[in-house]
Amino acid sequence: MAALRAGDEVTFTAVLDAWSPGLLRTARSFVADMHTAEDVVQETWLAVLRGLDRFEGRAALRTWTYQILINVAKARGQRDARVVPESSLREEGPTVDPSRFQGADEPYPGHWRTAPDPWPTPEASALDAETRRQIEAALDRLPARQRAVITLRDVEGYEPDEVCQILDITAGNQRLLLHRARASVRAALAAYLNPLSNEEQW
Which lies closer to another protein via its Cβ, residue 110 or residue 198? 110
Contacts with another protein by CB under 8 A lie at: 6-7, 9, 12-13, 16-17, 20-22, 24-25, 34, 38, 41-42, 45-46, 49-50, 52-53, 94-96, 98, 101, 109-112, 114-116, 118-119, 122, 126, 131-132, 135-136, 150, 154-155, 157, 160, 171, 175, 178-179, 182-183, 185-186, 189-190
**Measured CA distances, 123 to 8, 119, 126 (Å):** 43, 11, 6
CA angle 96, 100, 101 (to 5 degrees): 100
Which lies closer to another protein via its Cβ, residue 136 or residue 168? 136
In the complex, least distance from residue 53 CB atom to another protein, rounded to whole angstroms? 8
In the complex, least distance from residue 108 CB atom to another protein, rounded to whole angstroms? 8
Write phi, then psi, for 173 (nearest 5 degrees). Answer: -65, -40
Which lies closer to another protein via its Cβ, residue 9 or residue 200? 9
- 112 - beta bridge partners? 101
In the complex, least distance from residue 90 CB atom to another protein, rounded to whole angstroms? 13
Task: Say how far residue 183 (Cα) sits from the centre of its chain.
Answer: 13
Write phi, then psi, for 165 (nearest 5 degrees). Answer: -65, -45
| Closest CA relative to residue 47, chosen from 63, 64, 32 | 64
